[in-house]
Structure 1
Amino acid sequence: MAQSERFSNLPEYAFPRLRNLLSGLEPGGDPVVMTIGEPRHALPDFVAPVMAQSIAEFGKYPPNEGAPELLQAISDWIGRRHAIAVPPAQISTLNGSREGLFNAALALCPQDKNGARPAILVPNPFYQVYAVAAAAVDADAVFVPATAATGHLPDFAGLAPELLDRTAIAYLCSPANPQGAVADVDYLEHLIELAERHDFLIFSDECYSEIYRDTPPPSALAVASRMGLIDRVVMFNSLSKRSNLPGLRSGFAAGGAENIRRIRLLRSYSGAPLPLPVQRVSTRAWSDDSHAEDNRRLYLAKYAIADRIFGNIEGYFAPQGGFFLWLPVPPAVGDGEAAAKKLWSEAGIQVLPGGYLARDTEAGNPGKNFIRVALVDDAQKTEAALNRLKNCLYQGG
């Protein structure tokens, strides 16, 4: 397939679609934007001083794979958080996790798998970069439902063995975007065993791993390491959610030595290294856990608010991690698009139709009758907005 044709069937990205959907509609109240996963909590207080102290380093070319101090800080954090040893040589810095989730497919997906066109497994609904990465490497993107029936996680084990035999990569997001489901150790062990049996990689998107209720979500890389199968998993994380630093564009990939060597090699030709002042701030952020714990407590308060407001709504799923609500749309309202238009025109609340985060399949679009709501404002604003949302969409139900 010609490169220019690989992306011809991709739908428009979610946020331009939303702008078009709401075009011409006036907000029916003070506007509240609850669409994008952009944290609005305060930055850590060390960001500005560390950036200022290293400002002259904008005049230097930075190391592409990451400064030694930053790689060590990430290695130390993985050790503290997940109780496994991942040396700096098995880590690569990234311009946020999205870059890595895309480029790792370029670096690690084979041209064919067992003599056939490779398949890349994608949860449905999903973070949209997964499907674009599959298109970029000319693989078949296979959308695997992640619905209430499957615990809001994809049932990869339920796929046909013939498909799994030509699978090169399976993407997994835990805590899941948009549903907030967490893959437990048992789920991860079975997935890693499946990957070993059918010889595919797991790209574990863990960018929401530090926002959770009670139990820290396990890492697929940690589970694989303890199973002696670390080469089966590449882990991705960033400071965007953990440290309220989405604009810093600082993340990392970690995994087996050969996988990270190939990711680093690709980045040495095509990747943009993080500026050294950004790396200095990142080093401090990964070295400090207290601000991340403070941040998590703010989200815990918002979980409690959401549970109180929506706990009696049929189909409500209390998120176990992340900061999104995946709310069912009442049949009388219609689908997610109808709900988004109603909420904006009647209540001034902007949400994302769930169908924009999923893909149509023979079984339908699993996000069509949902909306995604981002809990990114402070607790007071969030509570007021969620009450308005409930009164508009569920008629006080």
Structure 2
Amino acid sequence: MPAAPEGRRTHEKVSTVSAVSSRLPVFPWDKLEPYKKTAAAHPDGIVDLSVGTPVDPVPELIRRALVDAADSPGYPTVWGTAALRDAVTGWCERRLGARGLAHTNVLPVVGSKELVAWLPTQLGLGPGDKVAYPRLAYPTYEVGARLAGAEPLVYDDPTELDPAGLRLLWLNSPSNPTGRVLGKDELTRIVAWAREHGVLVFSDECYLELGWEAEPVSVLREDVCGGSYEGVVAVHSLSKRSNLAGYRAAFVAGDQDVLGELLRIRKHGGMMTPAPVQAATVAALGDDAHVREQRERYARRRDALRTALVGHGFRIEHSEASLYLWATRDEPCWDTVGHLADLGVLVAPGDFYGAAGERFVRVAFTATDERVEAAVKRLG
């Protein structure tokens, strides 16, 4: 065998894949691992209040619907069944105050995180385009912009932004992480401004069913959008309200032109909600009793944790809705994370959600009653 040319390895690897991941920030939850180990070493075990993942059972009527649809050998459609679209439009009218929604105004999606992450790409955004989101926000808004090569842009009040190049504006009410709720007048003002400047509004409303000290309002409500869905889309998820995070069940509703374009793209991309999950979604949206029952569980846990945190020297800000308490001891957030980890309690540092959160922690009340009780005792 002839020798390889001088200076060249015989098995040199040549990469033809661009490192898209280099555009992205470090995955924040990896930074929490050492604190998780500390908390897990507590004699009574860890109380994990960091990730807002449901822990309560999936309601029986939803599981039954999933099982009944399990014999689904054929491909589902991207647009979903007519029964699913009926369920979504009916729920939006009943729960959100949306009026006159047609099937063309709704689209099922495979999880709301997946929608947020890939939306800018599917909208054709790229270099030179801007995607705006709240200064304190769910990290995936930034990730979605960076995946598309667009410029991420934070705001305190979106109407103070320069609209030049601004293609997508994310609203998030109730907020993750702060639990802040945007009122009707504020939403109306923002929608009017966005329409005036031709900016598409996507409103992440995944925590809308979980208002505690304020009643969350949808951007689709008639007195917010003026009875027209032009330029506005709402994002909803069944993960929190129905304990369906494992099902990846979500949908968007609003501007039919925008959703029609997404439907055409997603048909090519194969982004189909599995048929059994579609059937489970129909059951979930048609039943309000399980939502009330779950709200009552969360309300009890929220009250217990809030009282314990305040008694331990924390101050709670906002937190009038959602599944979290936005708490501070007026110290760097990682100091607070370390202090609580020593007590066997794991929380999320506020800087996961932006530099403005560097002195806060986000405390989820999605743990079981037994684990919440353990946290309360440790904070006492």
| Other-structure match for 2:130 | 119
Two-structure CA RMSD over aligned residues (Å): 2.3
| Other-structure match for 1:327 | 327
Correspondence list, 1:169-248, <5 A = 169-213=168-212, 215-223=214-222, 226-248=225-247
The verdict on how the C-alpha distance between 1:299 and 1:82 changes in structure 2, with shifts beyond 3 A counting, is same
Does structure 2 conserve the Cα–Cα contact (< 8 Å) formed by 1:192 and 1:224? no
Shift of the alpha carbon at 1:24? 7.2
Does structure 2 conserve the Cα–Cα contact (< 8 Å) formed by 1:31 and 1:348? yes
Measured in 2, the distance between the counterparts of 1:330 and 1:226 equals: 39
Q: TM-score, normalization: structure 2?
A: 0.88
Measured in 2, the distance between the counterparts of 1:225 and 1:109 equals: 27
Measured in 2, the distance between the counterparts of 1:26 and 1:226 equals: 48
Deviations 1:321-367 (A, max 9, x none): 11111111343xxx2222222322x2111111111222xxxxxx111
**What secondary structure sits across from 1:269 in the alignment?**
helix
**What secondary structure sits across from 1:267 in the alignment?**
helix
Correspondence list, 1:318-357, <5 A = 319-331=319-331, 335-344=332-341, 346-357=342-353
Measured in 2, the distance between the counterparts of 1:317 and 1:380 equals: 26
Measured in 2, the distance between the counterparts of 1:36 and 1:63 equals: 32
| Corresponding position: 1:156 with 2:152 | no
The verdict on how the C-alpha distance between 1:243 and 1:5 changes in structure 2, with shifts beyond 3 A counting, is same
| Corresponding position: 1:77 with 2:91 | yes
Measured in 2, the distance between the counterparts of 1:195 and 1:224 equals: 16
| Other-structure match for 2:152 | 141
Unaligned runs of 5+ in 2: 1-15
| Other-structure match for 1:51 | 66
Does structure 2 conserve the Cα–Cα contact (< 8 Å) formed by 1:224 and 1:233? no
| Other-structure match for 1:128 | 139
**What secondary structure sits across from 2:210 in the alignment?**
coil
Shift of the alpha carbon at 1:21? 5.5
| Other-structure match for 1:39 | 54
| Other-structure match for 2:75 | 61
Unaligned runs of 5+ in 1: 145-153, 359-364, 392-397
Measured in 1, the distance between the counterparts of 2:279 and 2:105 equals: 20
Shift of the alpha carbon at 1:110? 4.5
**What secondary structure sits across from 1:277 in the alignment?**
helix
| Corresponding position: 1:370 with 2:372 | no
The verdict on how the C-alpha distance between 1:77 and 1:342 changes in structure 2, with shifts beyond 3 A counting, is same
Does structure 2 conserve the Cα–Cα contact (< 8 Å) formed by 1:40 and 1:378? yes
| Other-structure match for 2:32 | 18
Q: TM-score, normalization: structure 1?
A: 0.84
| Other-structure match for 1:148 | none
Moved more, 72-81 or 191-200: 191-200
The verdict on how the C-alpha distance between 1:300 and 1:137 changes in structure 2, with shifts beyond 3 A counting, is same
Does structure 1 conserve the Cα–Cα contact (< 8 Å) formed by 2:131 and 2:169? yes
| Other-structure match for 1:292 | 291
Measured in 2, the distance between the counterparts of 1:172 and 1:65 equals: 25
Shift of the alpha carbon at 1:6? 5.5
**What secondary structure sits across from 1:65 in the alignment?**
coil
Measured in 2, the distance between the counterparts of 1:28 and 1:236 equals: 39
Shift of the alpha carbon at 1:314? 5.9
Measured in 2, the distance between the counterparts of 1:138 and 1:270 equals: 19
The verdict on how the C-alpha distance between 1:307 and 1:343 changes in structure 2, with shifts beyond 3 A counting, is closer
**What secondary structure sits across from 1:56 in the alignment?**
coil
**What secondary structure sits across from 1:242 in the alignment?**
coil
Counterpart of 2:350 in structure 1: which amino acid?
G
Does structure 2 conserve the Cα–Cα contact (< 8 Å) formed by 1:212 and 1:296? no
